Amino acid sequence: MGRGNYFAHTSLDGRSPTQRMYDAGYPAFGTWTGEDLAAGYTTTADVLNGWINSPAHYAVLVNPQYHAIGVGRGYTTGSTYGWYWTADFGGVVDAARGAPVARAVLTAPTAQVPAHLVIPAKVAAPPDSGYHASWTAQSPDPTVVIGSTATLVLALENTGSRGWSNDGSGQQVVIGTNDPPDADRSELAGDWLSANRLTSTTTDYVGPGEVGWFEFTVRAPAAAGDYRLALRGVVDGVSWLEDDGIFFTIHVYAPLGGRTSLSFVR
């Protein structure tokens, strides 16, 4: 910005912040991205205070969708604002980077710094993947003895514009663990695909407007108690489906004297 003597989220070559992040090697498309800019400030503390005191910029700073950040500053002699500051935010933690390379820092004389300037924050929502779902039905919560298994069923309606296919085309919807996403629930895994992926649809294809059925087993852990299993649909590498708060409570009890028994008292 200093070299081009401009101040805007869109660069002079027409690229958006999301496009610039992508061009730098960050997987920006398909996740949340945001950017805060400032100019004319000489210290990090002043820049941060300026963003905190601006509701639009503060909303970007504390947005829980962001899990990665890149911060940069530069000084250009003869430019309108001297110092330029950028903070880019993303929803994906990408591969670990090496230690930053030490660089010389130019100190701008205070007299050359004009009035502070902060422009509105830039926030970009991820593009629509076409994959969406709505909870339709599920089997009752199971009550099982330690070490035994129970078969559960979940139904999701395809409310998106793309079909769910099990033909290896990358359009496969599976049931993943949730709350938090990708939680390792191996203590409950029966015939699951992995510790955080349970199963795919029972049919090869579920078109838009159709209902997909998912069937899987859970295995009771070695300790009695109630185990909450939160679930959510996902197309791996593309997008999570809607979080409808789906969960099962697995009621696990211990056998009595080597035999199983249930009692009811009213």
**Nearest Cα to Cα of residue 123 among 65, 60, 67, 64:** 60
Alpha-carbon span 190 to 238, nearest angstrom: 26
Residue 261 pLDDT: 38
- pLDDT beyond 50 at 112: no
Question: 71-107: per-residue pLDDT in tens?
Answer: 999 999 998 888 999 999 888 887 554 444 444 433 3
> Whole-number mean pLDDT of the chain?
82
- Residue bearing the bigger pLDDT, 9 or 112: 9
Strand bridging mode 143-145 / 246-253: parallel
Q: Which residue has the higher pLDDT, 116 or 35?
A: 35
All residues at 6 or more sequence positions from 130 whose CB lies less than 8 Å from its CB, including other chains = 160, 161, 162
Q: SS3 for 154? A: strand
Q: pLDDT value at position 121?
A: 52
How big is the chain by its Cα radius of gyration, in Å?
Answer: 26
Q: Who contacts 126 (Cβ-Cβ below 8 Å, separation ≥6)?
A: 29, 30, 31, 32, 33, 91, 239
Q: What is the pLDDT of residue 93?
A: 84
Q: pTM value?
A: 0.52
- Give me the mean pLDDT over the 251-266 stretch: 58
Please, which pLDDT band fits residue 128 given cuts at 50, 70 and 90?
Answer: confident
- In angstroms, the Cα distances linking 117 to 6, 46, 80, 209 are 12, 11, 11, 50
Both structure tokens of 88: 């880019």
DSSP 177-193: ETTTTT---GGGBSS-S
Q: Does domain 2-90 have CATH number 3.40.33.10?
A: yes
Residue 26, helix vs strand vs coil: coil
pLDDT band at 252 (very low <50, low <70, confident <90, very high): very high
pLDDT tens track for 205-224: 888 899 999 999 999 999 99
Element (H, E) at 22: helix 17-23
- Rounded Cα gap, residues 38 and 135, in angstroms: 44
Domain boundaries, the chain: 2-90, 133-253
Burial class (CB in 10 A: 0-12, 13-18, 19+), 56: middle
pLDDT at 170: 64
Q: Which CATH number fits domain 133-253: 2.60.40.10, 3.30.230.10, 1.20.58.220, 3.50.50.60?
A: 2.60.40.10
- The tokens of 83 are what? 């110092």
pLDDT for res 127: 63
**Is the pLDDT score of 64 beyond 60?**
yes
Ranking 7-16, 26-35, 151-160 by mean pLDDT, the lowest is 26-35
How much is the pLDDT for 126? 54
Q: Rank 53-62, 65-74, 101-110, 226-235 by mean pLDDT and report only the highest.
A: 226-235
Predicted local distance difference test score (pLDDT) of residue 250: 95
User: Is the Cβ–Cβ distance between 153 and 64 less than 8 Å?
Assistant: no
* CA proximity to 6, closest of 15, 236, 252: 15
Question: Which stretch of 14-18, 71-75, 198-202, 218-222 has the lowest confidence by average pLDDT?
Answer: 14-18
